[in-house]
Structure 1
Amino acid sequence: MGMYEQISIALLVPATILYSLACVSHSWFQLPGVSYGLWVAKYCDYLSCHIIPAFFTEEPVWYHVLQALSLFGWSGMVASLTLLTSKKFDTSLPKLWRYHKHLVVSAVCIVSVFGISLSLVMFYGKLDESCTSASPQIQWSAFMAAAACALQFCAGLLLTQT
């Protein structure tokens, strides 16, 4: 394994951890006044609270697109890290992709970064449109997702050098 691959793995591991923490937290995609997270919604009545998957809520379509983009970005992160660290999946790749494996992993990284950054821009843009009283507050987990994007983008750029 070359130096660029080792540096890319060293960048992708914290990026995956940061983005996973951002997605698991309940604060990144939280709509004001509602207890929604990216994946679950919490409904409380007088007796108890119920947690249901956010996909089954009555949210606008853009929120569900946001969920899909976030899942796409996370799966791209995991796929690029898996392809770099494991030789087990090399036999399942087409021959041309195996020959240019670093470019394929780099492309997966960069496409995943654009998906994650698009979800960030889309969420805060839509939130800014709907929030008329004041501009929305950027949550701490959004900074974690942005840092993960930067790390993954750097890893993708490094892999184009091999």
Structure 2
Amino acid sequence: MATYEQISIALLIPANVLYSLALFSHSWFQLPDVSYGLWVAKYCDYLSCHIIPAFFTEEPVWYHILQGLSLFGWSGMIMSLILLTSKKLDTSIPNSWRYHKQLAVSALCIISVFIISLSLMIFYGKLDESHASARPQVQWSALLAATACILQFCAGLLLTQT
């Protein structure tokens, strides 16, 4: 395995961990009395807090599009790591991809980065539009997702060098 591939694997593993932590948190943004995540929403009143799956909330369509984009970005991130570490999948990919495997994985990394960053931009852009009175706060999970994007982008750029 080449040095660039080893460095890319070393970058993709923490990127996967960070983005997984970001996806499973419920603090992408917070407004008074409600905290939305990609998968659950946490509503708090004076007595208690309730966690509801995000699919069952009365959110607009862009919120569900955001969930789909996040899943596609996450699957691209996982597939790029699997393609780099596993040789078993080499027989199932087309010959042209197999010949230029590092470039194919690099393209997958970069596409996944753009999907994840697009989902973050949509998320905060639409949130800013819909809740102009209460300014959304950037939470730690969004910073984890942004850090994962940077790590994955660096890994994709390194793979273009091979």
Instruction: Provide the rounded CA distance (Å) in 2 between the counterparts of 1:71 and 1:30.
Output: 21
Check 1:41–1:155 CA distance in 2 against 1; reply closer, same or farther (3 A cut): same
Contact 2:55–2:64 (Cα < 8 Å) also in 1: yes
Instruction: Provide the rounded CA distance (Å) in 2 between the counterparts of 1:69 and 1:140.
Output: 20
* TM-score normalised to structure 1 length: 0.90
Give a deviation string over 1:18-44, Cα, whole Å, max 9, x none.
Answer: 000011111015565334321123467
Q: CA deviation at 1:127?
A: 1.1
Aligned residues: 162
**Equivalent residue, structure 2, for 1:74:** 74
The answer to whether structure 1 residue 152 and structure 2 residue 138 are counterparts is no
Contact 1:30–1:38 (Cα < 8 Å) also in 2: no
* Aligned residue type for 1:102: Q
**Equivalent residue, structure 2, for 1:95:** 95
Check 1:116–1:34 CA distance in 2 against 1; reply closer, same or farther (3 A cut): same
Structure 2: state its 5+ residue gaps. Answer: none
**Equivalent residue, structure 2, for 1:59:** 59
Check 1:102–1:142 CA distance in 2 against 1; reply closer, same or farther (3 A cut): same
* Aligned residue type for 2:57: T
Q: What is the root-mean-square deviation in Å for CA atoms of aligned residues?
A: 2.1
* Aligned residue type for 2:5: E
Q: CA deviation at 1:107?
A: 0.5
Give a deviation string over 1:99-137, Cα, whole Å, max 9, x none.
Answer: 011111001000000000001111111111122224321
Check 1:30–1:136 CA distance in 2 against 1; reply closer, same or farther (3 A cut): closer
